[in-house]
Amino acid sequence: MFRGGIHPAYHKELAAGAAIRELPTPARLVVPMSQHLGAPAKPVVKVGDMVKAGQLIGEQNGFISAAVHAPTGGKIAAIENTVSASGRVCAAVVIETDDSAERQTMPALTEWRSVDRKELVARIGEAGVVGMGGAGFPTRVKLSPPSDKPIDTVILNGAECEPYLTADHRMMVERAREIRDGAEIIWHILGAKSLRVAIEDNKPDAIAAMGKAFADMDGDVAVTVLKTSYPQGSEKQQIYSVTGREVPRGGLPMDVGCVVENISTAFAVYEAILLGEPLTRRVISVTGDAVERPSNLLAPYGTLYSELVAACGGVKGKAAKVISGGPMMGFTVSSLDVPTGKTASGLLLLSASQITGFTSQACISCGRCVDACPMRLAPAELSQFIEADDIEGAEGVALMDCIECGSCAFVCPARRPLVHHMRRGKAVVMARRAAARRG
């Protein structure tokens, strides 16, 4: 169990019991070319083209990049800029959907055990699979660690530690079999000795379902029940909770022989290999106290938030904040005209009573942030350095180790915008490093 962390009110009961519901295909899809870490995909279609469901519309553009596909068939209406949930402008391919049932798939690799590992990884890349836990790191890269970093443990991340969100929870309850199949493929590709399925103890039904599904796997496989604590889903903390190993500062999980994959990513791997389907949709938890009917919707990416909210009975009362993701690390959006992507698993609509504002009160050195920080930093000290514009000073006390989980700001009695300070400090450091590389 990692040191630090917080126990926010979870509000999972709003949507935890809602079985996954498929959204009827929207009339229009605004498919972002950047739904992953790295370079945006390059559009390979023109305005006016007719596309089939599953057809490639954006090709992988570089090593750290991913392919994007048409979730449904239709006509390319436009290629224009859109604003993502995080506020960044990126290109998007707008599809006017039609009812065509035709799908363009790749051959199903039912005998995947006899397929060369490199081919399996290439297929995962072709399918545009990226980390669906939020970071969107191209999965084909994660599954190709360098030979000097042997992997002995694969961890399947079923923690879903953010409050309100229940998408992964429902996936584990309803699609445990498919997740198991995808996990087996990942495990095989990495050639690791052990496979662990990490689930927080606030999801007993998911633990039972996954336990049952993974029971027939041979080898060192186990469901590891973790104490519910935010941020148990953060991979560094999860690796520590499951294996006792600490990822070194500035390092990656492979430095301690581990690879962590989200359960939805495992599902996407299953679809890519065993069904020949590219990644085109995901389950997203639409919840919060300002939504009429909190639901877990299976929707194609490119669906606008307004469609999702409408499918949940609309806004209940007045929404003060609309958040892409969870309340601890999610991005607030200024309108519902934002399209979904591969990585965001939640859409939160919160009324004014559920949100709190920040202040510029002085730090009273209570130390609660020091206790809460899962990276064992001193957020109080860091924020004071950054407020005083001493970014070097902040760097000197491990500013760049901050994972922006929000635990510090959550506990701060002075309501200081601690994560905001960290982000500003980190942005200055990154800009300076980029300038140094160029200059």
By CB under 8 A, the residues from 161 to 190 that bind other proteins are: 163
Nearer residue to other proteins within complex by CB, 223 or 242: 242
| Binding of residue 426 to other proteins (CB under 8 A) | no
Binding mask 394-423 for other proteins (x = CB under 8 A): ---xx--x--x-x--xxxxxxx-x-xx--x
* Interface with other proteins (CB under 8 A), residue from 24, 107, 114, 318: 318
| Nearest-angstrom CA–CA distance, 65 and 74 | 25
User: In terms of DSSP H, where are the helices of 244-367?
Assistant: 263-270, 305-311
Show contacts with other proteins in window 29-88 (CB under 8 A).
Answer: 82-83
In the complex, what is the shortest distance from the CB of residue 332 to other proteins, in angstroms, rounded to a whole number?
Answer: 5
| Binding of residue 374 to other proteins (CB under 8 A) | yes
Residue with tokens 């990049």: 65
| Nearest-angstrom CA–CA distance, 201 and 76 | 45
* Interface with other proteins (CB under 8 A), residue from 48, 107, 244, 357: 357
Task: Provide the pairing of β-strand 21-22 with 295-300.
Answer: parallel
| Range in contact with other proteins (rule: CB under 8 A) among 38-46, 112-120, 201-209, 354-362 | 354-362
In the complex, what is the shortest distance from the CB of residue 90 to other proteins, in angstroms, rounded to a whole number?
Answer: 11
| Binding of residue 425 to other proteins (CB under 8 A) | no
Say whether 237 sits in a helix, a strand or coil: helix
127, 36 in Cβ contact below 8 A? Answer: no
> What is the residue type of 13?
E
| Binding of residue 14 to other proteins (CB under 8 A) | no
Say whether 308 sits in a helix, a strand or coil: helix
In the complex, what is the shortest distance from the CB of residue 173 to other proteins, in angstroms, rounded to a whole number?
Answer: 25
| Binding of residue 249 to other proteins (CB under 8 A) | yes
Number of residues that bind other proteins (CB under 8 A): 73
Show contacts with other proteins in window 206-235 (CB under 8 A).
Answer: none
Q: For residue 416, how far is the Cα from the chain centroid? A: 26
User: In terms of DSSP H, where are the helices of 301-417?
Assistant: 305-311, 368-372, 379-387, 391-396, 407-411
Peptide bond into 145 cis (omega under 30): no
* Interface with other proteins (CB under 8 A), residue from 95, 260, 380, 394: 380
Residue 57 tokens, joined: 């519309």
